[in-house]
Structure 1
Amino acid sequence: MRKLELLPTDDNIIATLNENILGRNTELGYFLELLNHVEDAYSIAIDGKWGSGKTFFVKQAKLALDACNDSISMDDEKRTSIKETLSNVTKVDDLQPQYPVYYDAWEHDNDIDPILSLIYSITEAYDYFDTLSIDSKKMLMDVGQKIIDRILPGSGAVLPALSELFKTSNILNEQKNKATLQEDIQTFLHSLIYENGNRLVVIIDELDRCRPDFAVKLLERIKHYFVDEKITFVFSINLEELSNTVRHFYGEAFNAGRYLGRFFDLIIKLNPANLDNYYKKFGLGDHYYYDYAIRTVISSFHFELRDIIRFISASQLLKDTINKIPNMMLLDMNQRDALTFCGFFVVPIMLGINVIQPELYGKFIRGEEAPLFVNVIKNMTQYDRVVDFLLGDKETFLRTETSKTFIDIEKRADSLYNALFSSENSDEIIIGKLIINQGVRDKLLEISSLLSNFSDFKK
């Protein structure tokens, strides 16, 4: 059994771009055009919920910028492929060369000061250092060391990565305090931008997951020390969660929205991904009731991309066996119909709840969350089989006034939920064509636990 995941690795980033798996290539094209027309010091926030694919989006943008800057090392075939894909959504030849740097704030939130790790991330991204002369390396190291000395005076601290990159010596003994920290940083950044593109694009990701003190300090350090007409900052954030982080630091009465407005010149809302290609990537077709139900649960619970991956991973354990219920157990016909229906349409709801709100799962199987169940079943009435089983007469459903029909569906769905999960029901109950008894209830819980002969762990 392999973990089903779509991690933002280089290969996956390229695949999602070239195959437009997330359906965001058009948005990416507009974003590249936006970056291309920025002329001043500028800060952009890309706002999206946790798990919505923000990291994928900004890493796709970085890959695109890499491909459009000939000073950045990249395999020629890969560069050509990426630019051909981009040419479908933007005028590639019109994009100015920009140098992107990716900074994972969460990865560094135990650092003493965010400036140190940010400077390191910027310098680490520049693969042209090997071509610099010793004098040029020493100049950059001098400036970098001054930044460290101003932040941690008298500590003698140095970023090992800087020392390794520049291969210089006798730098630590130099204390140069004539310029301000801001001037040092400007000198440092200008020396990097000069040979590698018209602008530097610094992508700050996962800021909303950081410790409140680190998140606030990083924002304020950037605001005070990194303002430069040749630098664009892109923040990939969940604005709601970042606001909570700021309030946690300054107090609940603090106006976090106005505070954050000081740092972002433009806030962009990341639209939901187009999931059609995404579903195909993981074999989630639309020709099978179980697949239909899975897609309905995803839309009903408003899953983000990360939730979808976990949900599909769990549901695929049952996909090849769920339709074989009648042949895998010695059941009478009534039990077979009920378990077939539950396998196709009820089990996905149970798996979905365990993904999106696992704290509710216990209440759900105790019969305390009927509205949750009824809402999803109502959304499944686009499938004839659901209506046929619940009402017992599909033709009546098709002839009946819609509003009245959905009242009937709600009542039947509520009755089905109580028949399946209410502890007060132990007798046999008939809902439409479904006959629910204790054997059905017990088997439903067994199947949805994923620890039964229905789970295929070889998937």
Structure 2
Amino acid sequence: MKKRDLEPTEENIIDTFVKNSVGRNNSLFKFIEMLNYQDDSYSIAFDGRWGSGKTFFVKQCKLVLDCLSEENQYSYKDQILDIIGQDEIAKLTKINFKTVYFDAWKNDSDLDPIVSLSKSIATTAFNIKTKAKTVAIEAGKELVKIAAKEIAKTDIDNILDIFHTEEDIEAKFKKELASLIPKNGRPIVFIDELDRCRPTYAVKLLERVQHFFDNKKITFVFSVNLYELKNTIKKLYGSSFDGDRYLDRFFYSIISLPDANYTSENIQGMSSDEKMYLKYCDEITQKFNFSLREENHFTSMIDITGVKNRFLSSNYHADVFGNGNEIIDFFIIPYLIALKMVNSNQFNDFVFYNDGTDFIDFLASSKIFSSYLWNEDPNTLKKAAKDIYDCIFVRNEIVESVGITQEPKNIYIREPYKLKTEVNDILSLVSNDSVYEDKDTKSTKK
């Protein structure tokens, strides 16, 4: 299946915005409209768990702001503006934003974040013309020089001494920073991946932004997993430290990242059967509240088992198991793969200890299962779901055939006692370790 947590390359950022394949364009427009009504120094936190698409969102935000600026010319600019539309453009262009993107994690090895952050801001051309640009370059060099030689040499533990004994350094730095800000634009600095950084670096970056970049014409947008950032802070200050109150010092507002809506409806060029299969997988990912990265792990496991391709090929032998293999490939295996990712105990209860309550309730509420049976009656759906689970996983007696439904569609499973082995054989292709660990984020679920 198609990956859902795409790499945030320029091509993918543009393509997903044009197709709105993550379903966040309206949220993006609302956020930029909000930015247009700011007139003071703001630091905003975009909160989202690892793998939820924070980097995609802020890079799409940067893309839109860059294209809205009259000073920028890109080959894809007209295409982006056509997607936005004239009515929306009028709401989003009250302020001419100048964007800076800073990957905190990539700069995590620096001794002091003020140097690399100053460099990112100073080397952003802002498309200033001729003489003014030359002045800005010199100011940028001076900004980085002050950051490197006069500020970064002082450890964060002694940062208060800077303000008490060397206030002229802070004033000099802010003066150079102010000279970089064009009169006809408002810089907006996107700081990404802060929650992945070393605790000392993350805290120092927040402190530096608060004390040295406090300018009413600059907006900072942090994309973070606040839960993990609080844990990072506690590693530095101790488990009893109040991370919530600490972070309140730095963020004027905290906004939850809108849910991605990367559903089969947004994917073009698929057959009706494939869309139906992916819609059922969408129902599963929504049930388990998967992040985009977890969705990608889930769909890759389905690809490994081959059940989706077998279902789409329609290569079923009705004279062997009736609708049994079809039901396994369509409804049971995807559910069990997801369950194995998030809850190994419940997975074992399902397969070995005759507890299919959650599956039965989920299947009975599934719109796709209802469509498959051509039936919308809740009682019929609940009974059919229970009969499927019972005849495959609970009953041990040898029976020739079990009828699931007759009207309006005849669904039956032949020799159901053989299908549990079929399920186990398919699942053996998936790692026996039911713990899902994202290697990039080291986030673990059990």
In structure 2, relative to structure 1, the CA distance for the partners of 1:275 and 1:198 (3 Å cut) is: same
Match of 2:309 in 1: 320
In structure 2, relative to structure 1, the CA distance for the partners of 1:282 and 1:240 (3 Å cut) is: farther
Match of 2:125 in 1: 126
Conserved? CA contact 2:108–2:197, under 8 Å: yes
Per-residue CA deviation, residues 192-225 of structure 1 (Å, 9 max, x unaligned), is: 2126x42110111111222222222211111111
1:184 to 2:172 alignment: yes
Conserved? CA contact 1:68–1:92, under 8 Å: no
Shift of 1:268: 1.6
* 3-state SS, counterpart of residue 101 of structure 2: strand
1:205 to 2:192 alignment: yes
Distance 2:368 2:112 in 1: 55
Match of 2:359 in 1: 373
Distance 1:364 1:181 in 2: 65
Q: How does 1:333-344 map to 2 (within 5 A)?
A: 333-344=319-330
Distance 2:96 2:272 in 1: 41
* 3-state SS, counterpart of residue 106 of structure 1: coil
How many residue pairs match? The answer is: 409
In structure 2, relative to structure 1, the CA distance for the partners of 1:140 and 1:53 (3 Å cut) is: closer
* 3-state SS, counterpart of residue 240 of structure 2: coil
Match of 1:163 in 2: none
1:275 to 2:234 alignment: no
Shift of 1:324: 4.5
Match of 1:14 in 2: 14
* 3-state SS, counterpart of residue 394 of structure 2: helix
Match of 1:230 in 2: 217
In structure 2, relative to structure 1, the CA distance for the partners of 1:209 and 1:368 (3 Å cut) is: farther
* 3-state SS, counterpart of residue 43 of structure 2: strand
In structure 2, relative to structure 1, the CA distance for the partners of 1:108 and 1:146 (3 Å cut) is: same
1:443 to 2:441 alignment: no
Match of 1:108 in 2: 107
Distance 2:152 2:195 in 1: 26
Distance 1:142 1:65 in 2: 28
Conserved? CA contact 1:296–1:376, under 8 Å: no
Match of 1:419 in 2: 394
Conserved? CA contact 2:36–2:92, under 8 Å: no
Give the aligned residue type for 2:81. K
Per-residue CA deviation, residues 283-334 of structure 1 (Å, 9 max, x unaligned), is: 485776533432221222122222223333443554332255755xxx7835
Give the aligned residue type for 2:63. L
* 3-state SS, counterpart of residue 125 of structure 1: coil
Distance 1:182 1:353 in 2: 54
| Cα RMSD (Å) | 3.7
Conserved? CA contact 2:32–2:61, under 8 Å: yes
1:85 to 2:90 alignment: no
Match of 1:141 in 2: 141
Distance 2:150 2:112 in 1: 11
Question: Greater shift after overlay, 435-444 or 262-271?
Answer: 435-444
In structure 2, relative to structure 1, the CA distance for the partners of 1:385 and 1:270 (3 Å cut) is: closer
Q: Which runs of 5+ in 2 are unaligned?
A: 155-164, 405-411, 431-446
Shift of 1:57: 1.3
* 3-state SS, counterpart of residue 45 of structure 1: strand
* 3-state SS, counterpart of residue 36 of structure 2: helix
The equivalent position to 1:239 in structure 2, one of 226, 233, 246, is 226
TM-score (norm 1): 0.75
Match of 1:297 in 2: 284
Conserved? CA contact 2:103–2:192, under 8 Å: yes
Distance 2:16 2:53 in 1: 11
Conserved? CA contact 2:5–2:292, under 8 Å: no
Match of 1:59 in 2: 59
Conserved? CA contact 1:147–1:184, under 8 Å: no
In structure 2, relative to structure 1, the CA distance for the partners of 1:271 and 1:227 (3 Å cut) is: same
Distance 2:110 2:192 in 1: 16
Distance 2:385 2:424 in 1: 23
In structure 2, relative to structure 1, the CA distance for the partners of 1:323 and 1:82 (3 Å cut) is: closer
Shift of 1:107: 1.9
Q: Which runs of 5+ in 1 are unaligned?
A: 155-176, 389-393, 452-459
Give the aligned residue type for 2:283. T
* 3-state SS, counterpart of residue 236 of structure 1: strand
TM-score (norm 2): 0.77
Shift of 1:267: 1.6
Shift of 1:407: 6.2
Conserved? CA contact 1:286–1:292, under 8 Å: no
Conserved? CA contact 1:322–1:343, under 8 Å: yes
* 3-state SS, counterpart of residue 267 of structure 2: helix
Conserved? CA contact 2:118–2:147, under 8 Å: no
Distance 2:282 2:171 in 1: 55
Distance 1:426 1:323 in 2: 31
Shift of 1:231: 0.5
Q: How does 1:342-357 map to 2 (within 5 A)?
A: 342-356=328-342
Match of 2:438 in 1: none
* 3-state SS, counterpart of residue 76 of structure 2: helix
Distance 2:242 2:339 in 1: 34
The alignment-based identity, stated in percent, is 31
